[in-house]
Amino acid sequence: MNVPQSPRPRGNPPNSPHRKEGARRRSRSSKGWSSLSTGLATAVGFGAATAVAAMLLWSGGCGGEPPPGASTDKPARVSYLPPPGATSAVAAPSGAPTVAEVADAGAGDAEAAPDPDKPYTGPLLGALAIQTPVYPAMKLTKERLGYIRLGGKVPVDPKPLKAENCPSNWYRLLDGGYVCAKYATLDMSNAALKMGITSPNLEEILPYKYAYNTAHGTPLYKSVPSKEDMYKYEPYLEAAKKAKKKAEKEAQKEAPADDPDAGAPATASSVYDELDGGAPPLPSANLLDAGPADEEPAKPWWQQNEPGKPLNVKLSDLESDADGTVAKRMVKGFFVAVDKTFGWNNRAWYKTTAGLVAPSDRMYIVKPPSSKGIDVPDGVKQVGFITAAKAAKYTWDPEKKKITVSGSVARFSAFGLTGQTISKETIVYRQTTEGWWMKAIDGTYAEPSPAPSEVKPGEKWIDVNLSRKTLLAMEGDKPVYAALISPGRRSKNKKKDHPTVQGTFRIREKHVAVTMDGDGTVAGDLPYSIEDVPYVAYFEGSYALHAAFWHNNFGREMSHGCVNLSPLDAKKVFFWAEPKLPRGWHAVWASAENKGTVVHIHE
């Protein structure tokens, strides 16, 4: 199964000063995509505008294994601001419900989470562009402090400020920075704002629900498709229906004539059963215009299934079917972030955070790993982790010089260590602060390295040990949090060698979530795409600390160069580290006033 082990962005995020050779980047200037988003919203409806403008966002990939789980539950959302979360909508064929209509019943579910000091109840500014830029001054320049995602709301001083380069006026944000009113609104009832992306749920393990695509060729529609479009772009639906009817006929032949249940299907009804309401299947081509065919046309890449012959597909090939209905097709193993779940034409659908629509019956909702590190107890300098699937606790009798098993310990358990070790028949054991001993080969341990010269006394910094595969969040010389990581996977094959960069850096920017994708590095490798990878902190070029929900193999090399953490650990580090993410913002850049935390990576 060709699934990326951990994405490392092939392209760098907007305004990144670093670009790796051969990197992909699909960003546009804030002015360009903001104008496009707003203009399309007015001309053709905001759902379509969102779908088109979302395709202009930059994306990249740093590469695990697909977790299971299918669900059509509407994902809950919690905002850190008092108003209810925004709803979202996509363009629909005549008579089809919009996603906003589906979601309206639960639009008031979101509740305000308290600010560390007190809840904010003042005026809010809502973002109308895919990435509404926040500027350090009232000037439209390349310099940004961060951005607010479409539909996001932030505390604001509602007094408009005049400046020549923004005729629509400026607004000053209470947490710093300025926003041009061309890309935002004070009107919380604004239709475009309501149809924005639902706020990420910062109370859960992951900010969104994520769906794993199970088959090649699953389309991402630009809007809710009609029944005819479903059969046109998903020919397997018709094939599945024909196969079911054939099975029913066979069952009728084999059943006794007086059997009242003769002809009943032998298996449970599928999501395709009622698509046509009993109508004859639609033709897959216009037979009236079809002339004599000398040879059968070549099958599209996603219908090719020759044993032993790998697919040769690139990201650019996935948009070969793009038209007014389909944005692109997905490769098996792609992930989308789910904004809404809704029903139409006897089928359940996902509206993605990119504004596209995917059939849920071709996908599974991921159950994220729940492993996490440990707040380091006062006075403890070493932290142990169990990485073995099965491990035991041991008791040491110093008089008899005998070690015995005293219990079991779960994988990913974390605990303090005293620093004492013993060796018994060449096997090393480490003493825990709880009194029992861990077998060294059952796991790993973290202890601080000397602080880099850039770190001031008491300053926060992050110590990443690639050999031990651990991370320590430090405050001066005191470890405060310890976690397992999955660094870049190394190989003697240069094309598959993805080591994590070493050195001392500062976090340059942080994103609550950002898409990562890329092509395979060797022939036969399929491309990968993970929409809205959570809790991303870039520290050097396209290298980042980020959550990985697609594997649960922390403590081992898994990534394409980034530092993978479990979702809970990534979230902890993301909000602990600088630069601080202001309320309601989706991303923040480090600045002279809001410096990034030092990241020290070494063997």
Give me the chain's average pLDDT, please.
Answer: 80
Q: In the prediction, which pLDDT does 201 show?
A: 96
What CATH number labels 382-446?
Answer: 2.30.30
Q: In the prediction, which pLDDT does 271 show?
A: 36
Helices and strands: H and E segment counts in the chain: 7, 32
Structure token pair of residue 439 = 């077998």
pLDDT > 80? residue 245: no
Q: In the prediction, which pLDDT does 203 show?
A: 95
| Distance between CA atoms of residues 578 and 327, nearest Å | 37
537-563 pLDDT tens trace: 999 999 999 999 999 999 999 999 999
Give the CA-trace dihedral at 307, 309, 312, 315, to 10 degrees. 30
pLDDT > 90? residue 107: no
364 contact partners, CB below 8 Å, separation of at least 6:
66, 68, 69, 70, 211, 212, 214
The model's confidence at residue 14, banded by pLDDT at 50, 70 and 90, is: very low
Scan for tokens 């109370």, then name that residue: 203
DSSP 596: P
Q: Which residues pair with 127 in a beta bridge?
A: 184
The better pLDDT of the pair 575, 298 is held by: 575
| Distance between CA atoms of residues 470 and 597, nearest Å | 17
Q: In the prediction, which pLDDT does 297 show?
A: 66
The model's confidence at residue 62, banded by pLDDT at 50, 70 and 90, is: low
pLDDT > 70? residue 187: yes
The model's confidence at residue 117, banded by pLDDT at 50, 70 and 90, is: low
| Distance between CA atoms of residues 79 and 110, nearest Å | 6
The model's confidence at residue 119, banded by pLDDT at 50, 70 and 90, is: confident
pLDDT > 50? residue 490: yes
Assess contact for 205 and 571: CB atoms under 8 A: yes
Is the pTM higher than 0.85? The answer reads no
Q: In the prediction, which pLDDT does 335 show?
A: 98
| Distance between CA atoms of residues 466 and 205, nearest Å | 25
Q: In the prediction, which pLDDT does 255 show?
A: 62
The better pLDDT of the pair 28, 577 is held by: 577
Q: In the prediction, which pLDDT does 292 show?
A: 52
Of 79-93, 109-123, 177-191, which range is least confident?
79-93
| Distance between CA atoms of residues 499 and 476, nearest Å | 28
What's the mean pLDDT in 374-399? 96
400-420 pLDDT tens trace: 999 999 999 999 999 999 999
Q: In the prediction, which pLDDT does 167 show?
A: 87
The dihedrals phi and psi of 364, each to the nearest 5 degrees, come to -135, 140
408-451 pLDDT tens trace: 999 999 999 999 999 999 999 999 999 999 999 999 999 999 99
| Distance between CA atoms of residues 369 and 569, nearest Å | 11
Q: In the prediction, which pLDDT does 98 show?
A: 40
| Distance between CA atoms of residues 541 and 527, nearest Å | 21
Assess contact for 565 and 483: CB atoms under 8 A: yes
Q: In the prediction, which pLDDT does 249 show?
A: 76
Highest mean pLDDT pick, 61-65, 81-85, 341-345, 390-394 = 390-394
High-pLDDT (> 70) share of the chain, %: 73
| Distance between CA atoms of residues 437 and 393, nearest Å | 6
Q: 46-54 vs 30-44: helix axis angle to the nearest 10?
A: 150
Give the number of other CB atoms < 10 A from CB of residue 412.
20
The better pLDDT of the pair 290, 507 is held by: 507
E-strand stretches of 367-413: 374-375, 382-386, 391-397, 402-409
CB contact burial 135-159 (16+ within 10 A = b; e otherwise): bbebebeeebbbbbbbbbbbbbeee
Give the CA-trace dihedral at 79, 80, 81, 85, to 10 degrees. 0
Q: In the prediction, which pLDDT does 299 show?
A: 82
CA 213 to each of CA 8, 140, 164, 335, 538: distance values in angstroms, whole numbers, following the listed order: 20, 40, 48, 6, 27
pLDDT > 50? residue 44: no
Q: In the prediction, which pLDDT does 24 show?
A: 35
Of 89-98, 192-201, 286-295, 590-599, which range is least confident?
89-98
- Fold of domain 460-602: L,D-transpeptidase catalytic domain-like (2.40.440)
Assess contact for 398 and 422: CB atoms under 8 A: no
The model's confidence at residue 164, banded by pLDDT at 50, 70 and 90, is: confident
266-309 pLDDT tens trace: 333 333 333 334 333 433 334 334 445 556 667 888 888 777 77
Assess contact for 516 and 60: CB atoms under 8 A: yes
| Distance between CA atoms of residues 38 and 130, nearest Å | 9
Domain ranges of the chain: 211-287+317-365, 382-446, 460-602
What's the mean pLDDT in 342-363? 96
72-97 pLDDT tens trace: 333 333 333 333 333 333 344 444 44
Q: In the prediction, which pLDDT does 531 show?
A: 97
